[in-house]
Amino acid sequence: MEKIRVGYPVKGWTKELIDGWNAAFDTLIPEVELDLSETGFITLFDWLTIVAMIEKVLTNPYVNAFNIDTKGTDTSNFIPLADFIAIEKKKSTMDYYSTNEIELSKRIYKSVGFIESLGTLDILNRRSKDGKVSYPGIKSEDVKKHQFYTRKEGNLGVLLGLTRIHLKDDCKQFLDDKRIRDWIQAMGNRFPESPLFETQEVWRVLCHEFAVNIYEHAGIPGFISMRVVSPRDNKGTIHPWCRETYPSPHISRLFDKKNNPDNHFLEICIGDAGKGFIETLTHAYKNYLRENIITSNKKNESEKIKNQDIVAFAFDELGTCKDANECLVTERHALNRILYITAQYGGVLVVRTGGVELIYSGEGEMFRKSPTGRGYISTHEQEIPGTIPGVQFQVILPLTPFTSTKDFARRSALSISLPSTFHTD
């Protein structure tokens, strides 16, 4: 049977890779296959992006099956769980299985074990009783039980598995008092020195505001997930996978700092494959320029606008596609509050949309305003060789703030970003 194949960004988001996904969204071929056969490890940020795009493929009425292929052309057998655990614990001789079978199984248990610790199959198959998404050639239940990646080598655990955001009630879950209290108590016991887990703002500000952004603007379901990571082993050496997962120096600086030996950080990833900032904000941004900046040569107005400027505009206090009658003041400041928290905490925010990627790397003070007066100048920006649909965010916050601001007080980085009526304690 004919099938269309898409890929994972093993070597980054290439034009060929992005074009392949864009073709899958409108394909008439009933079977789509994701090639993970060359994937050694998977990052949370890129996998959440992949899941958002799988969700979009599944809205195509012609697609009736989506396979996640972990073997490719490798004819080696996938080793059952009991045998593989025995091999790992060296309780079984390896003569029974070939070296290729052991290496193949090790890679699959590692990569698929991680994505199943996030609940990938369950969340993607929720829309269908039969389940369109599967792992052909392997026993997914074995992979789920193994949990190769969870709580191992620096990954201290998935705090929030893949969570689908589509309806208004999906956003309200991040305002549930009991769920928040239980989470605060559990995380506070594990990380008593971190102000992140003393208040409710991780849920009520970060998760809730991002969820609302998907619900109001994406036009398609999106996802959110988060975990705590420790980049160093017991001897203080940085895990090799951590270098590969976070190659940008703007992020690696968080775990390279010598003055914070623990270096634990919270990673929150959010994404959808919907409209994206360029589609939803261009009109509002042009109106602002027309009314406040451009006074002559309006004929060339479009030439002055870059996608990077529109994305930066999204973080402005008033950077919204809504008019004044459509939203409350608190709603208009959602992404701005998140950027402020990132800056004050000395964290990092990455946003990818419209063929560009912007990185905001905080040092304790709010980022500088853009020359137009609306939006904030990013620490680093780069173009992507193609357009990944929708918007994807990655927020990384150190559990112990990296900040040198004199007015920083414990818990203030989160709480002072809110209007007084929004505080929870």
Query: Is 55:121 a contact under the CB 8 Å cutoff?
Result: no
Q: What's the pLDDT at 95?
A: 72
Residue 57 has, within 13 A of its CA and on its CB side, a CA count of 31
Question: Long-range contacts of range 407-412, CB-CB < 8 Å, 24 or more positions apart?
Answer: 408/344, 408/364, 410/195, 410/198, 411/195, 411/198, 411/199, 412/344
Please name the residues in contact with 291: beta carbons below 8 A apart, sequence gap of 6 or more.
none
Half-sphere exposure (Cβ direction) of 155: Cα atoms closer than 13 Å: 24
Closest-CA residue to 217 (of 285, 289, 273, 286): 273
- Pairing between strand 4-7 and 391-398? unpaired
Which pLDDT score is estimated for 109?
Answer: 87
Q: What is the C-alpha separation between 56 and 329, in angstroms, rounded?
A: 32
Query: How does strand 348-353 pair with strand 391-398?
Result: antiparallel
pLDDT of 329: 37
Question: What beta strand segments (E) does 23-93 contain?
Answer: 31-35, 65-69
Residues of the chain falling short of pLDDT 70: 91-94, 127-131, 147-156, 257-262, 294-303, 319-333, 402-425
In the prediction, which pLDDT does 271 show? Answer: 95
**H or E element: which one contains 115?**
helix 99-117
Burial class (CB in 10 A: 0-12, 13-18, 19+), 161: middle
Report d(CA 68, CA 33) in Å as an integer.
Answer: 6
DSSP string for residues in 259-323: T-SS--EEEEEEEESSSHHHHHHHHHHHHHHHHHT--S-GGGGGGG--HHHHHHHTTSTT--SS-
SS3 168: helix
Which of 114, 113, 107, 106 lies closest to 85, judged by CA?
106
